[in-house]
Amino acid sequence: MTKNLFIAVCLLLLPAISANAQKREYAMVVHGGAGNLSATENDPVRAPLLYAAMDSALLIGENILAGGGEAEKAVMAVICYLENNPLFNAGKGATVTAEGAFELDAALMLGKDLSAGAVAGVKSVKNPILAAYAVMTQSPHVMLSGTGADHFAAEQGLETVDNAYFATPRTLEWIEQLKRESGKNGTVGCVALDKHGDLAAGTSTGGMLRKRWGRIGDAPVIGAGTYADNQSCAVSCTGHGEYFIRHAVAFNLCARYKYLHESVAQAAEHIIHHELNADEGNGGLIALDKDGNIAMPFNSVGMIRASLYKEKTAPASVRQVGIGKALK
């Protein structure tokens, strides 16, 4: 290779080298549900509790990611924390079915090999996200449901509880509030990119208020409410599940990124604001691409979300928490 040709090749490679140097060391996004959050955002008691909870979720995840931990471990730790927090419609604090019981769904997917696990309609697993992980790692299946999923979780040694555990003193008050705030949806989710370049996505929910007939939403459906692929993005959705299933929202976003070469923000915005709408498909999503770029659009009145990322050249991470439309 001549000297001039060598210089020309190096100049052509400079943009790629610069882009690689700007990739984020790690990143994470968390959501706590979407809907009509105008009252919650201005509640002097509840809003600070939600801000504190989301900030705690970021700290839990960052402690794992900053130490070189795997994305799936960060996702599970964050979602376990949210499942144990009665502020959210997942785990303890879940909403009730028409029969007055609690049925929970969760899913986990790893971008490095597309492995996935999910549970739907479980009634006695304290942390459904751990049951989803057990399905992924300890069974040949992707999704288990109902009594069978509860039995499987117990066989795996996961902590089980009486169904009444999921109720809280706020449950009845929350149900009455939900009746007034018809646009409110509840789910929690987390997506993460670790230092190894691996993506993971997880989602957990107590489901739709007064759901009947064993209804299952998008949260545990791989490709609808949860998806991760190291070649594209990690996605977790929250909202009116039937529409997110019909539009295969989580996979759809990854496909637009991979095949249409849209940015994660462009793909997410198109799906939430053009394929879905606030009347049919109310909700939002969080997403990370393989470089750590973040998207968290919603078409509802608001969404509870938080994010952090660490640039390779920066001494500290950047963190944001928001309720409704405001971020701080």
pLDDT at 281: 77
Residues forming a β-bridge with 144 = 119
pLDDT at 174: 55
The H-or-E segment that residue 315 falls in is none
Q: Is residue 86 part of a domain?
A: yes
Distance, in Å, from the CA atom of 171 to the CA atom of 291, rounded to the nearest integer, reads 40
Contact indicator for 238, 187 with CB cutoff of 8 Å: yes
- How many other C-beta atoms lie within 10 A of the C-beta of residue 245? 17
Q: Is residue 236 part of a domain?
A: yes
Q: Is residue 49 part of a domain?
A: yes
Per-residue pLDDT for the chain (328 aa), expressed as one digit of tens each? 444 433 333 333 333 333 333 389 999 999 998 887 877 888 888 889 999 999 999 999 999 999 999 999 999 999 999 999 999 989 998 888 877 788 999 999 999 999 999 999 999 999 999 999 999 999 999 999 999 999 999 999 999 999 989 987 766 665 555 555 444 446 899 999 999 999 999 999 987 777 778 788 889 999 999 999 999 999 999 988 889 999 999 999 999 999 999 999 999 999 999 999 766 778 999 999 999 999 999 998 889 999 999 999 999 999 999 988 766 5
Virtual torsion, Cα 176, 187, 274, 223, nearest 10 deg = -140
Structure-block tokens of residue 250 = 């989580």
Amino acid at 315: P
Q: What are phi and psi of 171, to 5 degrees?
A: -55, -50
CATH number at residue 237: 3.60.20.30
Q: Is 187 a catalytic site residue?
A: yes
CA distances from 25 to 96, 203, 314 (A): 40, 23, 9
Distance, in Å, from the CA atom of 180 to the CA atom of 90, rounded to the nearest integer, reads 20
Kindly tell me the burial class for residue 319, based on how many C-beta atoms sit within 10 Å of its own C-beta (0-12, 13-18, 19 or more). Answer: middle
pLDDT at 316: 92
With vertex at residue 26, the alpha carbon angle to CA 20 and CA 28, rounded to the nearest 5 degrees, is 130
pLDDT at 5: 37
Token match 């309609």: residue? Answer: 121
pTM of structure: 0.88
pLDDT at 196: 96
- How many other C-beta atoms lie within 10 A of the C-beta of residue 107? 35
Q: Is residue 39 part of a domain?
A: yes
Contacts of residue 28, Cβ cutoff 8 Å, sequence gap at least 6: 58, 61, 62, 65, 74, 78, 190, 191, 192, 193, 288, 307, 308, 309
Q: Is residue 237 part of a domain?
A: yes
Amino acid at 274: H
- How many other C-beta atoms lie within 10 A of the C-beta of residue 83? 27
Q: Is residue 11 part of a domain?
A: no
Contact indicator for 61, 74 with CB cutoff of 8 Å: yes
Q: Is residue 210 part of a domain?
A: yes
Q: Is residue 66 part of a domain?
A: yes
**Active-site position among 40, 97, 187, 226:** 187
Is residue 182 classed as helix, strand or coil in its secondary structure?
coil
Contacts of residue 100, Cβ cutoff 8 Å, sequence gap at least 6: none
Token match 């370049």: residue? Answer: 197
Contact indicator for 324, 43 with CB cutoff of 8 Å: no
Contact indicator for 171, 137 with CB cutoff of 8 Å: no
Contact indicator for 185, 211 with CB cutoff of 8 Å: no
Segments forming the whole domain that contains residue 268 = 25-95+172-327
Structure-block tokens of residue 184 = 């409110």
Angle, to 10 degrees, between the axis of helix 128-138 and the axis of helix 146-155?
80
pLDDT at 328: 54
